[in-house]
Structure 1
Amino acid sequence: MAHHHHHHSEAASGDKRMVLAILVNVGLTFAQIAGGILSGSLSLIADALHNFSDAASLGIAAYARRIARRPSNAAMTFGYVRAEVVAALINYTTLIVIGLYLVYEAVMRFITPESVEGWIVVWVAVVALVVDLVTAFLTYAMSKGSMNIRAAFVHNVADALGSVGVIVAGTLILLYDWQIVDPIVTLAIAAYILWQAFAEIGGAIRMLMLGTPSDIDVTQLVDRLSGVEGVVDIHHVHVFAIDEQLAAMEAHVVLAEGHGEAAEAVKARLKELASKEFGIGHSTLELARHACCNGDDARKIGHAIRSSSKSGGHAHAD
């Protein structure tokens, strides 16, 4: 009961940090937009747009975090844990859209230059940087174990670097009247946003597509499981991530003659091996005394049979 209370308190504490981060980012967004309009700074308005996306991404992340804690039911037998993965995909997608929009705006500013009032840019960006650092402090610990929070955190880090870039741009405009530095900084912010988004979005897509976790070698897994005493063949292997913490596997296992009575012991050894060596926390194994299919039929439905693995073929996880 104490353990459950600890997790509940931890979740409640995390929710409060998320709400606080959302509020400070919404307030900052309005300040940056006002400053950008008064100063004529594209990079400051760009930073405001990105900061608004921070607030939105934090809101999406916080809502998904709450949904993910709902228990499983007849309609959602795996539960709602992947709500956080969906939220991460949404947030990375919005980052890409924002990045592309900023590229367009920067190119247009190169074509049609506009003057920028440096002091307003610098002071508003300094305030923005402070808020960005506060938000990073509030979300950093949670981002380590959650793709969802990590997506929101990437929004925030990109915004912090954007604020630094805006400060640099404003300072150079003040000192040297280098107006062209404004769209250059905007392009740099956009490049960083796009780089981060494309680097991270693949993980969310992979999980939603039931892809094999990147740290699990299915061919090696099949070879190790096939070597367990009493196992003749293992095929129809599917490995996927239920969420970031739990990898699952299902497979058909053909037992050797005389091991029928020891089937449960063989199954226990297979599950233990999969857990200890490959980090697979949930295994569903179907035991049989002969393969359910071979040859072309096996290849059509993505079976991974021991003979093909040993002859240089690859196991499939589908």
Structure 2
Amino acid sequence: MSHDHNHGHSHSHIDPEAGDRKVMAAIAVNLGLTVAQIVAGVVSGSLAMIADAVHNLSDALSLVIAFAARKIARRPSDARMTFGYGRAEMVAALVNYTSLAIIALWLLWEGTARLFDPQPVAGWIVVIVAGIALAVDLVTAALTYAMSKTSANIRAAFLHNLADALGSVGVIVAGTLILLFDWWIVDPIVTLAIAGYILWHVWQGTPRVIRMLMLGAPPDMDAKAVLAEMEGVDGVASVHHLHLWEMQEGQPAVDAHVVVDEADPVLVRQRVIDRLHDVFRVEHTTLEMERPGACEPDVSVIGH
């Protein structure tokens, strides 16, 4: 019996230092905007503006968390964290999604209360500040968009800003309607719409993060398909105790026991590794090679 392990091939990333600079720039503009929005919201009496400011503050905090997680994730593995620190980004993503949910629930509560007791709102202040906010939100989204495609951590922060940009659009619409028609009721309605949109994003993004933290199989990998590919390799008699998970986001991993029916298990092992990489882009493979009859007849094929 032999136990073989392979890290696979290198995994390319966006230049981390350039990414860090973009995240820091996004943090700076969001903090400045938050202060301006809170002052404008208090002066104008707009709950939607204050809601947008609180959400914008959460954007800045989410970016701070994302930035810290990026730094931690690049630390090399050590005796305490033998798989490395890459999952710090997934923890950060979960924290950010949770904070989004809390903020959305608070907005629902406040918006509902204001719906039954509309308050006067200075529409012109709302429109001007929300216009500035929209510009800042779009700049922040542009800074993080590319990184959001490959990182759940940055994607959660990006969604904070995307939701905020749409919130700013809603606040502009509300302020305009207040100016034109004196419709104060629009302010809490927009607040409720922003809250609903945030909750929708949380519902969409959280399961992916939890699945990875729970060592779930990558969403684009079917265990039965992986099993079929492995058992189709020359020299493989059967496969059992198959485990699929992700080392880090976008880095699928496979752990399995392989029963070989030819003399050279090392050669069979390499064939399996190559097949997994070519078909499923597996970067991390751990295989235990076994001779026929070495395992129990009722052994689990997938998992233990």
1:288 maps to which residue?
A: 290
Write the distance in 1 (CA, Å) between the matches of 2:143 and 2:114.
35
2:6 maps to which residue?
A: none
CA RMSD of aligned residues (A): 1.5
Residue deviations 1:118-166 (CA, integer Å, cap 9, x gap):
0111111011011111111211111111111111000000000000000
2:170 maps to which residue?
A: 165
Gaps of 5+ in 1: 1-5, 305-315
Q: Alpha-carbon deviation of 1:7? A: 7.6
2:280 maps to which residue?
A: 278
CA distance 1:180–1:69, shift in 2 (3 Å): same
**Residue pair 2:19, 2:147 contacting (<8 A) in 1 also:** yes
* Residue 248 (structure 1) aligned with residue 257 (structure 2): no
Write the distance in 1 (CA, Å) between the matches of 2:182 and 2:42.
19
2:9 maps to which residue?
A: none
Write the distance in 1 (CA, Å) between the matches of 2:283 and 2:247.
10
Q: Alpha-carbon deviation of 1:317? A: 4.6
* Residue 210 (structure 1) aligned with residue 212 (structure 2): no
**For residue 19 of structure 2, what is the amino acid of its counterpart?**
G
Written as runs of structure 1 = structure 2, the 5 A alignment for 1:47-196 is 47-196=52-201
Q: Alpha-carbon deviation of 1:291? A: 4.6
Write the distance in 1 (CA, Å) between the matches of 2:278 and 2:294.
26
**For residue 265 of structure 2, what is the amino acid of its counterpart?**
A
**For residue 270 of structure 1, what is the amino acid of its counterpart?**
V
**For residue 292 of structure 1, what is the amino acid of its counterpart?**
C
Which of 259, 271, 275 is residue 269 of structure 1 equivalent to? 271
**For residue 274 of structure 2, what is the amino acid of its counterpart?**
E
Tell me whether 103-112 or 151-160 shows the greater mean CA deviation: 103-112
Q: Alpha-carbon deviation of 1:221? A: 1.1
1:311 maps to which residue?
A: none
| Secondary structure class of the residue paired with 2:283 | strand
**Residue pair 1:118, 1:173 contacting (<8 A) in 2 also:** yes
Residue deviations 1:248-289 (CA, integer Å, cap 9, x gap):
111011122xx1x31111111111111111121111110111
**Residue pair 2:247, 2:284 contacting (<8 A) in 1 also:** no
Tell me whether 235-244 or 135-144 shows the greater mean CA deviation: 135-144
Tell me whether 204-213 or 275-284 shows the greater mean CA deviation: 275-284
**For residue 297 of structure 2, what is the amino acid of its counterpart?**
N
Q: Alpha-carbon deviation of 1:94? A: 0.7
Write the distance in 2 (CA, Å) between the matches of 1:170 and 1:50.
18
Which of 12, 20, 23 is residue 15 of structure 1 equivalent to? 20
TM-score, normalised relative to structure 2: 0.93
**Residue pair 1:95, 1:194 contacting (<8 A) in 2 also:** yes
Write the distance in 1 (CA, Å) between the matches of 2:53 and 2:93.
21
TM-score, normalised relative to structure 1: 0.89
**Residue pair 1:239, 1:247 contacting (<8 A) in 2 also:** yes
2:3 maps to which residue?
A: none
**For residue 230 of structure 1, what is the amino acid of its counterpart?**
G
Write the distance in 2 (CA, Å) between the matches of 1:291 and 1:122.
73
Which of 39, 44, 60 is residue 39 of structure 1 equivalent to? 44
| Secondary structure class of the residue paired with 2:248 | coil
Q: Alpha-carbon deviation of 1:293? A: 2.7
Gaps of 5+ in 2: 1-11
| Secondary structure class of the residue paired with 1:32 | helix
**Residue pair 2:174, 2:190 contacting (<8 A) in 1 also:** yes
| Secondary structure class of the residue paired with 2:55 | helix
Number of positions where the alignment pairs a residue of Structure 1 with one of Structure 2: 292
Tell me whether 158-167 or 71-80 shows the greater mean CA deviation: 71-80
* Residue 27 (structure 1) aligned with residue 29 (structure 2): no
Percent identity over the alignment is 55
| Secondary structure class of the residue paired with 2:109 | helix
